[in-house]
Structure 1
Amino acid sequence: MKSFVRSVLAAAMASFMAVSSAHALVVYSSVDEENAKKLLDAFTKSTGVDVQMVFLSSGPALSRIEAEKARPQADVWFGAPSENHMLARERDLTEPYASQNASALSDEFKDKDGYWHAIYTNPVAVGVRTDILESRGAPIPASWEDLKNPAYKGLIQMPSPQSSGTAYAVILTLLKERGEDGAFEYLKALNPNIQTYTQSGTAPSGALGVGETPIAIQFSPGFLKLADEGYPVNVVFPSEGVGYEVAAMSILKGAQNMDDARKLVDWMTSAEGQGELAATKTYFLPIRGDVSGGEGVPTLDKIKLVSTDPTFAAENRQRLVERWTKDVLGQ
Structure 2
Amino acid sequence: MFRILSLPLAALLAAGAAGAQEARTITVYTSQPQDQMAAVVEAFNRDHPDITVEIFRSGTTELMAKLSAEFAAGATPADVMLIADAVAMTQLKDEGRLLAYQDAPVEGIPEALIDPDMTFFGTKLITTGIVYNTGLVETAPRSWAELTAPELASSLIMPSPLYSGAAVIHVGTMVQQPEFGWDWYEALAENGAVAGQGNGTVIEAVARGEKAYGIIIEYMALNAKAKGSPVDFVFPDEGVSVITQPVAILKDSDAVEAAKVFVDWQLSRAAQDQSVEQGYFPVLEGVAAPEGYPDPATLTLLPADAARMLAEDIRNKEVFADLYGG
- With the shorter chain as reference, the TM-score category is 0.7 to 0.9
Q: Is the 8 A contact 2:123 2:246 kept in 1?
A: yes
Aligned counterpart, 2:121: 117
- Residues 1:87 and 2:91 aligned together: yes
CA separation of 1:306/1:148 partners in 2, compared to 1, >3 Å: closer, same or farther? Answer: same
Measured after TM superposition, the shift of residue 236 of structure 1 is 0.8
Aligned counterpart, 1:249: 247
- Residues 1:220 and 2:218 aligned together: yes
Aligned counterpart, 2:311: 315
Measured after TM superposition, the shift of residue 208 of structure 1 is 0.9
Aligned counterpart, 1:66: 71
Measured after TM superposition, the shift of residue 19 of structure 1 is 7.2
Q: Quote the Cα distance in structure 2 between the aligned partners of 1:153 and 1:84.
A: 29
- Residues 1:35 and 2:40 aligned together: no
What pairs up with 1:148-167 in 2 under 5 angstroms? 148-152=148-152, 154-161=154-161, 164-167=164-167
After superposition, the C-alpha distances for 1:226-271 in whole angstroms (9 at most, x for unaligned) are 1111223221111111212232222232544433322222221122
CA separation of 1:100/1:252 partners in 2, compared to 1, >3 Å: closer, same or farther? Answer: closer
CA separation of 1:317/1:304 partners in 2, compared to 1, >3 Å: closer, same or farther? Answer: same
Aligned counterpart, 1:177: 177
CA separation of 1:91/1:171 partners in 2, compared to 1, >3 Å: closer, same or farther? Answer: closer
Q: Is the 8 A contact 1:78 1:250 kept in 2?
A: yes
Tell me the amino acid that sits aligned with residue 71 of structure 2. E
Q: Quote the Cα distance in structure 1 between the aligned partners of 2:174 and 2:269.
A: 33
Aligned counterpart, 2:260: 262
Identity %: 22
Q: Quote the Cα distance in structure 1 between the aligned partners of 2:250 and 2:206.
A: 39
5+ unaligned residues in a row in structure 1: which ranges? 1-14
Q: Quote the Cα distance in structure 2 between the aligned partners of 1:174 and 1:80.
A: 17
Using the size of structure 2 for normalisation, the TM-score is 0.79
Tell me the amino acid that sits aligned with residue 42 of structure 2. D
* 1:312 aligned counterpart, secondary structure: helix
Aligned counterpart, 1:77: 81
Q: Quote the Cα distance in structure 2 between the aligned partners of 1:76 and 1:65.
A: 14
Q: Quote the Cα distance in structure 1 between the aligned partners of 2:321 and 2:96.
A: 36
RMSD of Structure 2 on Structure 1 (CA): 3.2
* 2:271 aligned counterpart, secondary structure: helix
Q: Is the 8 A contact 1:105 1:288 kept in 2?
A: yes
Q: Is the 8 A contact 1:99 1:265 kept in 2?
A: no
- Residues 1:284 and 2:241 aligned together: no
Q: Give 1:229's match in structure 2, choosing from 221, 227, 238.
A: 227
Measured after TM superposition, the shift of residue 272 of structure 1 is 1.6
Q: Is the 8 A contact 2:207 2:230 kept in 1?
A: no
CA separation of 1:276/1:219 partners in 2, compared to 1, >3 Å: closer, same or farther? Answer: same
Aligned counterpart, 1:7: none
* 1:206 aligned counterpart, secondary structure: helix
Measured after TM superposition, the shift of residue 126 of structure 1 is 0.4
Aligned counterpart, 1:108: 112
Tell me the amino acid that sits aligned with residue 158 of structure 1. M
Q: Quote the Cα distance in structure 2 between the aligned partners of 1:168 and 1:75.
A: 23
Tell me the amino acid that sits aligned with residue 107 of structure 1. E
* 1:133 aligned counterpart, secondary structure: coil
Number of matched residues? 305
CA separation of 1:152/1:78 partners in 2, compared to 1, >3 Å: closer, same or farther? Answer: closer
CA separation of 1:304/1:216 partners in 2, compared to 1, >3 Å: closer, same or farther? Answer: same
* 1:285 aligned counterpart, secondary structure: coil
Measured after TM superposition, the shift of residue 162 of structure 1 is 5.6
* 2:177 aligned counterpart, secondary structure: helix
Aligned counterpart, 2:143: 143
- More deviation, 191-200/142-151: 191-200
CA separation of 1:40/1:230 partners in 2, compared to 1, >3 Å: closer, same or farther? Answer: same
Q: Is the 8 A contact 2:29 2:78 kept in 1?
A: no
Aligned counterpart, 1:3: none
Q: Quote the Cα distance in structure 1 between the aligned partners of 2:189 and 2:76.
A: 47
Q: Is the 8 A contact 1:219 1:244 kept in 2?
A: no
Q: Quote the Cα distance in structure 1 between the aligned partners of 2:263 and 2:293.
A: 24
- Residues 1:300 and 2:305 aligned together: no
- More deviation, 193-202/41-50: 193-202
CA separation of 1:309/1:25 partners in 2, compared to 1, >3 Å: closer, same or farther? Answer: farther
After superposition, the C-alpha distances for 1:305-324 in whole angstroms (9 at most, x for unaligned) are 22422332232233334445
CA separation of 1:53/1:91 partners in 2, compared to 1, >3 Å: closer, same or farther? Answer: same
* 2:304 aligned counterpart, secondary structure: coil
Q: Quote the Cα distance in structure 2 between the aligned partners of 1:68 and 1:103.
A: 38
Measured after TM superposition, the shift of residue 223 of structure 1 is 0.7
- Residues 1:198 and 2:196 aligned together: yes
